[in-house]
Structure 1
């Protein structure tokens, strides 16, 4: 299902994926099956989204971001892809960010460029992730730090 008020230019969208109103998907993006992309999202060209991913409203996913299967991205999560952004100055390539299988990112979290969030990791709402997050780890705060609690596998 692709809402008629969205602008989906990619043809690489899996079966049973739902894309809601006011979503823009650029032509190079790949989105897996059984995903739910909520309203007011932007997905750039060099983006890969796996299967069974939920992306809540207000999320922009920039070039260089890969989101693996079974990931939850909360409302208004901010991904970044340029460590030194300047107006009208573009890097030769963008940093690669990976959100690993089963991870969850809480509302309004900020993910800096080049970060890997591990398998089943959980990012607390409003956290600013400045370093890689290990598998099965919960991080919160600014900068995000481990709670020392481990999630069950």
Structure 2
């Protein structure tokens, strides 16, 4: 076995799991799931059939990654955060044909107990604070908090708040990595 699996975990035949991944207590990975290298699935995690999880992701305890969710490389999912895949669920109405796709881009952080409403994209290295409810797309490097989530700043790849205005233009340097970031026309990016 190229990955580590706790005896209480269930990995259905057909699931693809990358080298060096760790699957902890009471996890269930469905047959169609594709999980990259070096992924950690904490206690009581569920991974659906139509799920893609990139390399190096960390999914903390009590997270369900439902069908139509894609996590790119290096995504952090905090404890008990929530994904959805149906926008207007009803117990008595079948809506599996209405699943909306959710995309979490490379390096994003989803804080503990936050909720990502289906059909949204969270940009690269965005940072969603604990308990926030994301109901619209989030730009790369954005720092989001609240219900519904609103942007209060920008974050570096290192996970450090940047001294940039919310709108307009500006330059900032991450104190730990010395990487330079540029804000131009409301879009934050690494400066080369």
TM-score, scaled to structure 2: 0.77
The aligned runs of 1:1-153 (5 Å cut-off) are: 1-9=4-12, 10-91=14-95, 92-147=97-152, 149-152=153-156, 153=190
Distance 1:102 1:36 in 2: 15
Of structures 1 and 2, the one with the larger relative CO (CA 8 A, separation 6+) is 1
Deviations for 1:108-130, whole angstroms, at most 9, x for unmatched residues?
Answer: 00010101000000000000001
Structure 2 residue runs of 5 or longer lacking an equivalent are 157-189
Deviation, structure 1 residue 151: 1.8
Deviations for 1:86-121, whole angstroms, at most 9, x for unmatched residues?
Answer: 114222141000000000010000010101000000
RMSD: 0.9
Count of residue pairs brought into register by the alignment = 152
Structure 1 residue runs of 5 or longer lacking an equivalent are none
TM-score, scaled to structure 1: 0.96
Distance 1:90 1:15 in 2: 37
| Larger-gyration structure (1/2) | 2
